[in-house]
C-alpha cells in the first residue's frame, strides 16, 4: 500500500526483455537496504517486488500480466520512473490509498499551463468512467492526484509545480500513455451495486 506522494524518481539503466517477462534495472538516489529485498515498491504506480540491489540501482521483475496492464512495455533505457516505498503503519497519509494495482492505461490528449499549474487531459475508455468523480482521487504513474474535471471522453488533472519537480509528469507529452489506478473506494462502491 502506498500514498502516491512521490519524493524520488529513477532512470531505467537496463531492460532485459524476454517473451513472458522483463527485468528492469533502475538507478536512483532512493536508499534501499538488503533487508528490503522482496519488498513492494511503487514504480510509476505499479507495485513491483524489489529483486536485487547493486549500489544505487535496483532490479525488478515484470510479469506478462504487469506488461499487459501497464505502460512498461513502452519504456526504454533512460526513461524516468516515479518511485515510492510502501507506507508504514502510523505514517501520515498525505495523498490517498494507492495499491499499486494498475487498472488501465490512458493516453494524454492535451497539456497546457495556466500560470504555473500544469493541466493534463486524459482520454479514458467509456467502461472506466464509472470510477471517476470530480474532486475524487486518481493515481497517475503512481502520483496521487485530484480529478479537476470530467470530460466527455476522459478527465483532467492539474499538477502544481512541486508535483512536477518531484515526478515524471513533467516529461509528459501529447499521446504519451500513463498508468492509471482508480480510487479503491470508488471501485468497491461500484462493485457493490452490480
Identify the band that residue 194 occupies on the pLDDT scale cut at 50, 70 and 90: low
What would the pLDDT profile of 58-117 be if each residue is shown by its tens digit?
Answer: 999 999 999 999 999 999 999 999 999 998 887 777 888 899 999 999 999 999 999 999
Domains annotated for the chain, with CATH where assigned, are: 8-85 (2.40.30.20), 104-192 (2.40.30.20)
Locus of grid cell 457493490: 192
The mean pLDDT of the chain is 93
Over residues 126-145, mean pLDDT: 95
Residue 166 has pLDDT above 90, yes or no: yes
Q: Say if residue 84 is exposed, middle or buried (CB neighbours under 10 Å; 0-12, 13-18, 19+).
A: buried
Cα–Cα distance measured from residue 61 to residue 155, given in angstroms and rounded to the nearest whole number = 31
In the prediction, which pLDDT does 193 show?
Answer: 65
CB 77 within 8 A of CB 98: no
**What pLDDT score does 100 carry?**
94
Cell reading at 92: 501520515
Residue in 155, 137, 134, 156 with CA at minimum distance from that of residue 146: 137
Mean pLDDT of 175-187: 92
Which DSSP category does 98 fall into?
B
Amino acid at each position: 500500500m502506498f500514498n502516491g506522494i512521490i519524493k524520488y524518481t529513477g532512470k531505467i539503466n537496463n531492460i532485459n526483455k524476454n517473451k513472458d517477462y522483463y527485468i528492469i534495472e533502475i538507478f536512483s538516489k532512493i536508499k534501499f537496504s538488503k533487508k528490503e529485498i522482496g519488498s513492494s515498491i511503487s514504480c510509476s504506480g505499479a507495485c513491483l517486488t524489489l529483486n536485487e540491489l547493486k549500489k544505487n540501482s535496483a532490479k525488478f521483475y515484470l510479469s506478462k500480466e504487469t506488461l499487459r496492464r501497464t505502460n512498461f512495455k513502452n519504456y526504454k533505457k533512460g526513461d524516468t520512473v516515479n518511485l515510492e516505498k510502501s507506507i508504514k503503519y502510523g505514517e501520515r497519509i498525505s495523498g490517498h490509498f494507492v495499491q499499486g494495482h494498475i487498472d488501465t492505461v490512458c493516453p494524454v490528449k492535451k497539456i497546457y499551463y495556466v500560470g504555473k499549474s500544469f493541466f493534463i487531459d486524459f482520454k479514458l475508455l467509456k467502461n472506466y468512467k464509472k470510477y471517476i468523480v470530480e474532486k475524487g482521487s486518481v493515481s497517475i504513474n503512481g502520483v496521487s492526484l485530484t480529478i479537476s474535471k470530467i470530460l466527455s471522453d476522459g478527465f483532467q488533472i492539474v499538477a502544481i509545480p512541486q508535483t512536477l519537480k518531484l515526478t515524471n509528469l513533467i516529461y509528459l507529452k501529447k499521446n504519451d500513455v500513463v498508468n492509471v489506478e482508480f480510487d479503491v473506494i470508488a471501485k468497491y462502491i461500484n462493485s457493490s451495486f452490480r
